[in-house]
Amino acid sequence: MPQDAENKITASGFYGDLKIGVLAIQGAVSEHIDAIENCGARAFPIRNAGLIPELDGLIIPGGESTTIGRLSRKYGYLNEIRSLAAAGKPVLGTCAGLILLAREVEEQEPILPLMSIKTRRNAFGRQRESFETDLSIPVLGEKPFCGVFIRAPQITSIGEGVEVLSILDEVVVAAREKNLLVTAFHPELTDDTRLHCYFLEMALEVKHKIFNVKIGQNVE
């Protein structure tokens, strides 16, 4: 992916056919939608079961992880999210969304669990200890990314196949495992859309693969 993701999106417009959902239980739902739309894709709040299977990608925003997990189970979202991920479509979890995706959560039962990481809730402190800091995220280019940490979790260990994308004070704060992408911080609370554009690049790659498979089947 080019270092300046924003310029690539502006130049190509490839993302206009993508449909991205944002799980609308808690968190900065409208901010995620704005970031995706600023990258050139379509984004929708997910408030009903049955919509997730039609998506090209899903964002699970911040909030309170146990509440999001409980309501997702009640409304039938969890199995749909698992099926979406199993189909290879990307899922982005930010802050509490990271906790939902984690295979292990300290002092809590895992919720989905899909990604080979272990996490600790509120590891950077409570609400009053929130902070912002510049992060190095090489996949997004050389320019630092402003990380907004609000009651943020830490990734305490990673499994084989997990790519570390960013580290702060020797702690992993962003990672990717195939089609699963997580951040301990809130990328939607900045004007920098590079991480959301990176997520759309993942979705576009999967969409192209699915299209090519269908074309091959029709030829046969």
- CB under 8 A, 24+ apart: contacts of 131-140: 133/168, 135/166, 135/168, 135/173, 135/174, 135/185, 136/166, 136/167, 137/165, 137/166, 137/174, 137/194, 137/195, 138/165, 139/1, 139/165, 139/198, 140/3, 140/5, 140/194, 140/195, 140/198
Quickly tell me which residue has 């239980």 as its tokens. 25
Contact 44, 54 (CB under 8 A): no
Residues annotated as catalytic (active site), given as ranges: 95, 186, 188
The DSSP code sequence of 55-99 is -SEEEE--S-HHHHHHHHHHTTHHHHHHHHHHTT--EEEETHHHH
Q: Is 187 helix (H, G, I), strand (E, B) or coil?
A: helix
Q: What are the backbone dihedrals phi and psi of residue 42, each rounded to the nearest 5 degrees, phi first?
A: -95, 140
Contact 140, 207 (CB under 8 A): no
